[in-house]
Structures are given as structure tokens and as C-alpha cells.
């Protein structure tokens, strides 16, 4: 896998999820809510948000046990891209290549 630049893409649902889990994330990161808000602003400059069609979403829902993950799987179908996630649900489907963080680091170093 050759990359001169890594592009980060996500479904807009990521904003809802990060907001919903902001308290837990602040705790894990050891940051205040204000600092978390600043981190979110910085991340928004590096992550492009892309939507999917209802058909793509339905296809993804049929292949993964966690419906919360379906928008991200649908986006991978739509764009023909890999997924970077430590969520084991993504490994249930055989269509999209999924990298855990340790696997992605190893891949990018090779």
C-alpha cells in the first residue's frame, strides 16, 4: 500500500457519536470539554464527511451486527475504501478490508 498522503473520510454520523460520547472521551483523553471542542475543530479540518444512499445503508445493515456501524461500512462500499477501526463488528463482513490501529501502523510502515 503506497500513500503519499493519507485521506481520512467518515460519515456525518461521526459528529453525533463523538458528541454523544464526549464525556467518556474527555475522561479517557484527560482533557476538559473546552479542549475537546478545540480538538473536534482541528479534526474537522482533516476528516472529510461523506453521505451514503439509503440503498447503500441497507446493504451495510444486512452485513453487520451493529447497526450503529452501518453508515461507515456503507461509505466504504460507496467509495471502495478500507476501514480503520478497532470495532470487531467490521470484521464480520467479507467485502471491505478492515484495519485495527496496530494493523494499519504495520501496513503503513511496510
For the stretch 47-86, pLDDT in tens is 999 999 999 999 999 999 999 999 999 999 999 999 999 9
Alpha-carbon span 21 to 7, nearest angstrom: 24
Enclosing H/E stretch for 99: strand 98-99
Give the model's pLDDT for residue 61. 95
Predicted TM-score (pTM) above 0.85? no
Amino acid at each position: 500500500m503506497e500513500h503519499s498522503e493519507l485521506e481520512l473520510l467518515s460519515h456525518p454520523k461521526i459528529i453525533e457519536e463523538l458528541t454523544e460520547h464526549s464525556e467518556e472521551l474527555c475522561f479517557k483523553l484527560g482533557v476538559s470539554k473546552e479542549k475537546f471542542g478545540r480538538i473536534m475543530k482541528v479534526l474537522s479540518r482533516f476528516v472529510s464527511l461523506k453521505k451514503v444512499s439509503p440503498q447503500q445503508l441497507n446493504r451495510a445493515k444486512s452485513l453487520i451486527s451493529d447497526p450503529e456501524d452501518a453508515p461507515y461500512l456503507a461509505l466504504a462500499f460507496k467509495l471502495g475504501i478500507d476501514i480503520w477501526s478497532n470495532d470487531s463488528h467490521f470484521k464480520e463482513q467479507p467485502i471491505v478490508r478492515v484495519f485495527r490501529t496496530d494493523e494499519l501502523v504495520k501496513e503503513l510502515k511496510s
